[in-house]
Structure 1
Amino acid sequence: MRLVFADHEPHLKPNPRRDHMSGVPELSYSTLDRHGGRVLAPGQVVRTAGQSAPVGTIYRYDRLLVDESVIHDSDTREKLESAIQNTGMWLESQSASSIVAGQGSFRVPVLSSHGDQAAVDAWALLQRLRTVNDEANLPSEILDKVRLEHLMICSKGTPGAGNGEPPPGGGHSYSLGRIPVDMVNPMPDRKSLGRRLRVAILDTGVPTKHPAFDVSDRTEHEDTFVVVDHAFQVKIGEHSDSPAIPLDDPWEGPVHEPTLIGEVASHYGHGTFMTGLLRQISPDVQVYSLRVVHNDGLAYEHEVIGALHHVADQVEAARRGDEEAYNVDVVVLAMGYVDESPDDQPGGWIGDAINRLSALGVPVVAAAGNQSSDRPFYPAAFAAHPQPENAAPVISVGALNPNQHVAMFSNEGPWVSCYATGAGLVSTYPCEAKGSRMPDRRAKSAFLDRHRESHDPDDFSSGFAVWSGTSFAAPLAAAFLVNAIAESGMTEVDDAIQASARAHEALKRLKSR
């Protein structure tokens, strides 16, 4: 198992022949409805005259990201509200959705239809605002501060690509999916250390109890392998603006699909699996687990941005000497989206959050996505954007099969930095997960007080599973990086320049191996 680097620096390369729906995840109608989501298909939407056709993405149809400067300035806000009301819609609420005090990036207003005059659709609204735009009505500098909110999808294996679910039409390109297994090798011992290197995983969280690792809250100042943040999750819950269950607790389980069948939710245990990979490869680190992904694999762009700023706030406070702050050395992300911009250049605030961490010297390791596409998947594709001097790297990670060939499901392209094993991996999984699928055969044992049965496909009481996806290649890459940082002995850094130099030096050592 090793890290394979691209033989070039990551860059964005336009592909005029690309299918406009390339890279857009396939989601069920019920999943989209659960989150107020809609697929933007270029041939089915209105667009401003003279503007290039968009490319496909997934967005929240009744939400907009609006810069706080627009909301806080009464004249500017009134101009925006008036322009929206002229389309037959209004901003139902201007209440703050800032997840972290002082975050200062945006608000999420709720769109509502005025009688039967208009269907609520954020994309159509933006096009109409641009169509009627003139300097006397709604200046372009205001419009530039109003954007779609994307639904971000976690990059676990897709059907037919190692998820244990056959694709439509039968067949199976990967024989191993999310199935229960047992772990023969014990978890490596953890050394007693002073300052541990810390890896933030922004995902579905971890169970409160698992035989492979212990969990504590940040306020308890315990040397557990996993640290959660109840206070942050409460803020997420307080500002939840979705019909889906709020992420107001570090863990929710067990969770099943919202059908009468009772299958284990598609991404339940996703963050647990990621955490277990770090436990195997980097036992001496500490994982900071923030829950921003729902158990169906979707995350809201503004909540992910809020979590990234929260991590940055903690890093800044720790370097100022705040003993209550939680310093972080590496951030791992497994979710992302493809942008509607035809030149694949996102205009949202998530890039600002990534750049802020990078400027603080905190490298961000992000999964490249599982759509078998070369279309840039963000935030991973920020690895191809120019970085300021003295900034830590952004690393995009594709998936390899165990034989080191690129996994069929993995995205790849000139914007991908490196590849790590992401198919057929064994890691931790919530023990309480048990679905409705039954063994093919079952009989009473003739000699023991238990049954004889074939393999139960969704009884995870062993606490381990096999799974596939670039989601899991990303924490492996992060583990290699953090181990290389640990080899330097620089667990403590005083400022952003030192932290960034430490990350680049570790990356250089990995590339030379």
Structure 2
Amino acid sequence: MTIDHIPEPARHGQGEPFGPAWQGITLPRELLDRHGAKVLDPWAVGLDPGEARPDSTVYRADVLLVPGQLLAVREATDRIDEALSTVGLKLSAESVDRARDRDFGDRTVWLPAVLEIADGARDVMADAWPALRAVRRALADPSYAEPAAAALRSQLDQISLDHLFVGSATSGIGSLDLGGEPATSGHAVTEQPGTGGGPGYGRIPLTVVAGPPRRRTLEELGGPRITVVILDTGVATHPWFRPVTDPDAFLTVDPDGQQQIEDTHPAYAGRDIARLEGYEDLGQVPNPLIGTLNSHTGHGLMLAGIIAQTAPDARVLSYKVMHSDGVVPGEALHAALDRLLDLMDDGQPVDVLCCSFGGFSESGDAAMQSLFTKVNQLRARGVTVVNAAGNYATTRPFYLAALSETDVPGPPLAPMLGVAAKNPDGTVAIFSNDHPAVRWRAPGAMVVSTFPPAHRGAQNAPLSVGERAALDCDAVGPFCGWSGTSFAAPIVAGVIAAELTKTLGQVGVDPVERARTVIDTMINDKAARPEITPI
């Protein structure tokens, strides 16, 4: 197994200035409805003179992501409501009240603010895109040029769409005709044996006869374990892992932090949308009457098993921010990053952050600036961030990976990496995205790892006679082979953790410098391999 670094990224012609609707944004209607979301169509929106046409993206239809400090100040909410009134909308009272009951401290905390129809308005649709444009249009008011309003303007300018990120392409990768979902999200049901669908990247049950790699005790290690954080679908019971309550478990959770993520769910009145609950991967099915496994069931446990294979002496801290259908709400992601900053401020270690998800934005890097700023606060504390490149076979910027090589003014930060997927023969996987910021490649096709054995869907084996049956690909068992840049990223994260483990005896080393040195070592070695002892 090798990990490749690309000193000068290959360029394959001019990338898309903005993506057609099919290029990565073709989520099924039922998925959008489940999360109260919609796709921004660049050709179906109004434009003011001189305004640039937006790109396609996915966002909560009636929610704006607003700095909580703004929602807690009456002058700010009055200004926002005044701007929203021009499109017949207002902030929900529940969203505002929830912010005013909270102590935010010095850090900007992003909260979802639900939009409602303004009093007296008729035939209005609560849509966050025209609402955001109304706020931005109001910022051109000359009153904001006054010194007293400058700080307020700066904060109002940070209001954004509540983007939804995805673990992988949940409905194909456009017009490349790669068989749709199996090439990207890996739902095995759509690629049963004998159907001939897709190029062979589907989620497939496997038998693994080896046990987990040996993990040294804390006494043998001689120092604290390196902590790798994964933001994904949560944890599940598996024979490889001790209970998360074990004092020195490999796979761990943070119930208080998970509650903080739960509490950021949009404050809807009278209706609800899919909600993240607890830290466990519950294997929730998209349609209980059919009962087949959801597309990203077990995604997080796969990541944990990959890191266990490459860095068994580390520990994984798992936060559930992804639904089992692969959707990651923007507010949940912000809340998880806030929790990590709080932990580090309290002296708890975080060394590597692995993000096996991403998304597209409507206005390039600018739309992701608040998220990038939050990630950079972690990097300033020495956290190396590893991002999946995405599985859409596109050159469109896929965030956060597309920001991995972005220069940040000020003191040096810990590295941020974008990781593409390779096939077993070393070629780039056909589904893997390409972008100048994606400078790392790791195995990402049919990667073998841990899967929740308790999750069994309703899809029966295609052939069953008495005790004999064909492979039941909707009841995966303890292990499976799965494909995507989602699984290339934790390989890199695990190797980084293994290299960091070698530095545990060092004293007085700046964490940012230590992180940069590890990445430089991996680059100079040209190929990074886990330690292997032949038998």
The reply on whether 1:213 has 2:217 as its aligned counterpart is no
Distance 1:233 1:100 in 2: 18
* Deviation readout 1:143-200 (Å, 9 max, x if unpaired): 4122111001113785141623659xx8544324212111122211111124111100
The reply on whether 1:509 has 2:521 as its aligned counterpart is yes
The reply on whether 1:144 has 2:148 as its aligned counterpart is no
The reply on whether 1:75 has 2:44 as its aligned counterpart is no
Please tell me the residue identity of whatever aligns with 1:90.
K
The verdict on how the C-alpha distance between 1:187 and 1:15 changes in structure 2, with shifts beyond 3 A counting, is same
Please tell me the residue identity of whatever aligns with 1:509.
T
Distance 1:133 1:284 in 2: 52
133-142 or 188-197, larger mean C-alpha shift: 133-142
For residue 379 of structure 2, the aligned residue among 358, 363, 386 is: 358
The reply on whether 1:125 has 2:131 as its aligned counterpart is yes
Shift in Å, 1:317: 1.3
154-163 or 370-379, larger mean C-alpha shift: 154-163
Report the equivalent of 1:253.
282
Please tell me the residue identity of whatever aligns with 1:350.
L
Distance 2:16 2:217 in 1: 54
The aligned length equals 488
SS in 2 for 1:465: strand
**TM score, norm. by length of structure 2:** 0.85
For residue 207 of structure 2, the aligned residue among 182, 194, 203 is: 182
SS in 1 for 2:60: strand
Q: 1:422-501 maps to which residues of 2 (within 5 A)?
A: 422-444=444-466, 451-460=467-476, 462-487=477-502, 489-490=503-504, 498-501=510-513
Distance 2:73 2:523 in 1: 49
Report the equivalent of 2:60.
60
Distance 2:244 2:103 in 1: 21
* Deviation readout 1:92-140 (Å, 9 max, x if unpaired): 1314469996453333211012353411101012223444654257776
Please tell me the residue identity of whatever aligns with 1:490.
L
Shift in Å, 1:9: 7.1
Report the equivalent of 1:332.
354
* Deviation readout 1:370-393 (Å, 9 max, x if unpaired): 111111111112212103433101
The reply on whether 1:301 has 2:330 as its aligned counterpart is yes
The verdict on how the C-alpha distance between 1:313 and 1:10 changes in structure 2, with shifts beyond 3 A counting, is farther
Runs of 5+ unmatched residues, structure 1: 319-325, 445-450
Shift in Å, 1:85: 2.3
* Deviation readout 1:435-469 (Å, 9 max, x if unpaired): 1111122222xxxxxx1111111122x31111111
Shift in Å, 1:508: 1.4
Distance 2:393 2:336 in 1: 28
Distance 1:176 1:106 in 2: 37
Percent of aligned positions with the same letter in both sequences? 31
Please tell me the residue identity of whatever aligns with 1:327.
P
Maintained 8 Å contact 1:64/1:148: yes
The verdict on how the C-alpha distance between 1:435 and 1:166 changes in structure 2, with shifts beyond 3 A counting, is closer
The reply on whether 1:87 has 2:87 as its aligned counterpart is yes
The verdict on how the C-alpha distance between 1:149 and 1:213 changes in structure 2, with shifts beyond 3 A counting, is same
* Deviation readout 1:261-283 (Å, 9 max, x if unpaired): 21101111100111111111111
Shift in Å, 1:331: 0.6
For residue 236 of structure 1, the aligned residue among 255, 261, 279 is: 261
Shift in Å, 1:22: 6.5
Distance 1:134 1:440 in 2: 62
* Deviation readout 1:413-435 (Å, 9 max, x if unpaired): 21102011111111100011111
Distance 2:124 2:17 in 1: 35
SS in 1 for 2:111: coil
Q: 1:313-324 maps to which residues of 2 (within 5 A)?
A: 313-318=342-347
Distance 2:47 2:165 in 1: 23
SS in 1 for 2:43: helix
The verdict on how the C-alpha distance between 1:100 and 1:77 changes in structure 2, with shifts beyond 3 A counting, is closer
SS in 1 for 2:367: coil
Maintained 8 Å contact 2:110/2:334: no
Report the equivalent of 2:166.
153
Distance 1:248 1:453 in 2: 36
For residue 264 of structure 1, the aligned residue among 290, 293, 302 is: 293
What CA RMSD, in Å, does the superposition of the two structures yield over aligned residues?
2.6
Maintained 8 Å contact 1:214/1:226: yes
Please tell me the residue identity of whatever aligns with 2:439.
S
